[in-house]
Amino acid sequence: MRIKNPLNGFKYAMEGVAHVFRTQRHMRFHFLVLFLVLLVSLVSNRNRTEVLVLLFTVTLVLMAEMFNTAVEALVDLVTQTYHPLAKFAKDIAAGAVLITVMNAFVVGFLLFFGGSEWPDITGPLGLREPKWPTVAAVGFILLAVLVTMGKVRGGRGKLWKGGVVSAHSAIGFFLCVTILYVSRSIAAAALAFAMAALIAQSRVEAKIHTVMEVVTGAIIAVALSVAVYWFIVPP
């Protein structure tokens, strides 16, 4: 009788994790968030209890995403035609992921911003105040020129739809950095960043741009706006 390798269970489990990572875009995003959260927790000197809470919370999100993928695969195996119960099963599994993500967001917010850190991030930063709106107008014109050149050079898409650079993403992140320098508040900049990220995500979801195209627009906008406000604005 053949003796089973005790490591086979571990190997099969790792194959399952690898399959979800390869096939599920949300799982890759969750892993990226896990990496960033751990990096920020190390940089911000979180204590051991806070790091454990963060790890447990993010692990719940990863587990929920994997169970969601397993439920979807099982439903697709049973039926390939539309059935209300199949829809309910997939919707409920997706709802479980949503709940864990919302819980992770609340936990992360409370750990990073719910204590003594809140007065620090809502207070004014020591940034040089730009001569609003002259410098912002100049920066916006420069951004429009760069994005237009990128679209023309790419040879596809229209000026405000499609192309190798997302103009909507670029404008969103340009305004995000502008809000940071005008308000000189990390909290206001964080809210602006969230809106800019939603704009970029909507362009990808609408299949107007790829992830690389919206990221390119964001990088161009952030680099240009920081250069304008930091190097052009007099101290």
**Using CA atoms, how far apart are residues 227 and 221, in angstroms rounded to an integer?**
10
Take residue 31 and report the two structure tokens written for it: 């892993």
Q: In the annotation, is 117 catalytic?
A: no
For residue 95, give the nearest of 58, 68, 129, 63 by alpha carbon. Answer: 68
Catalytic residue among 50, 65, 205, 213: 65
**Using CA atoms, how far apart are residues 108 and 19, in angstroms rounded to an integer?**
28
Question: CA-CA-CA-CA torsion for 13, 14, 16, 22, nearest 10 degrees?
Answer: 170
Active site residues: 65
